[in-house]
Homo-oligomer: A and B are copies of this chain.
């Protein structure tokens, strides 16, 4: 990894996403100031980081002395002013409620170094609303990661309409320098890019099970043993391009009308997500996972994704 383009960062909020960002920034060598008004939350996040690094060590991803130097970069603060002191990039990970995010952004804008970038991990809210009316609106962006941020590189980036181009450039360079892949959006839409695509998949997968076409396990395997093996390498368009010898033009020309038919046959009503539906699907998932804990499954996911990324690094997209 290259040197991080900014050296001191603050992570505000220490839930599942916040603790992932701590890993991203400290791994890259940034001084990482962790802020949470609740010291127990902050300490729990730090404990999680330590545990995760020990698992990394067991899997051969990191050496013992690297853990020490990594942890030495992280400091915990319950005082926001102290946390933001000197920070050049601030990643906000508060609860997904507009008023709360606005209040955090207002405080950060008032206290922080005026040239610092203020980025929100918001997963649905419009950054234009979060940063509305702030004196420092020109330095605000959305930087929405995927779970877990230290394992999955994609980060959806949306500037406000008032964000300065220089800030967008500086944020993009920084995110790349810490090993993430910023993906620029042009305007706000509900669910951004990834969660819209995921919503389309969640909806159809639930419909297939609820209609009785196939069970949870078969519907899952069609992805994990089928479509998903291609999607780890190419996105939708890249896959479409390699599904005909003549590329995407031939593919769409040949299969466009079949796709239209299938698309029109999809049930576009949202599943209910009522307790009964959740129970039916969850029972199927629990049968499929056969007692394996979420923690164990997640750990396997993180380990394997890192190995897949290494494969792609060693033998990159031609």
Contacts and interface: CB of A to CB of B under 8 A. Distances in A.
**Ranked 5 nearest A-B pairs via Cβ:** A220-B235, A256-B273, A228-B231, A154-B226, A232-B232
Given A183-B221, A223-B197, A236-B220, A252 B191 contact: no
14 contacts: A123-B258, A146-B226, A146-B227, A183-B218, A184-B214, A187-B212, A197-B204, A202-B236, A203-B263, A220-B238, A229-B309, A233-B301, A233-B304, A248-B285
A210 interface: no
Interface stretch (A67-75, A86-94, A310-318): A310-318
Interface in A170-201: 181, 183-187, 189-191, 193-201
Contact of A240 (B186, B202, B241, B244): B202
A219 B253 CA distance: 21
Contacts of A296: 318
Interface stretch (A100-108, A131-139, A264-272): A264-272
Copies of this chain present in the complex amount to: 2
A214 B193 contact: yes
A10 interface: no
Classify the secondary structure of A's interface with B: helix
A200 B198 contact: no
A317 B224 CA distance: 11
B186 A213 contact: yes
B218 A184 contact: yes
Interface residues of A, number: 114
A249 B123 CA distance: 20
Contacts of A307: 311, 315
Interface stretch (A25-33, A111-119, A159-167, A276-284): A276-284
Interface in A283-316: 284-286, 288-289, 292, 294-298, 300-301, 303-305, 307-309, 311-312, 315
B189 A225 contact: no
A193 B213 contact: yes
A200 B212 CA distance: 19
A315 B300 contact: yes
Contact of A294 (B186, B241, B253, B265): B241
Given A214-B183, A307-B311, A235 B263 contact: no
A227 B192 CA distance: 13
Contacts of A181: 221, 225
Residue of A202, A208, A278 most packed against chain B (CB within 10 A) = A202
A220 to B, nearest CB: 3
B273 A225 contact: no
A196 B214 contact: no
Contacts of A295: 245
A297 B288 CA distance: 34
A258 B124 contact: yes
Contacts of A285: 237-238, 240-241, 247-248
Residue of A193, A213, A222 most packed against chain B (CB within 10 A) = A222
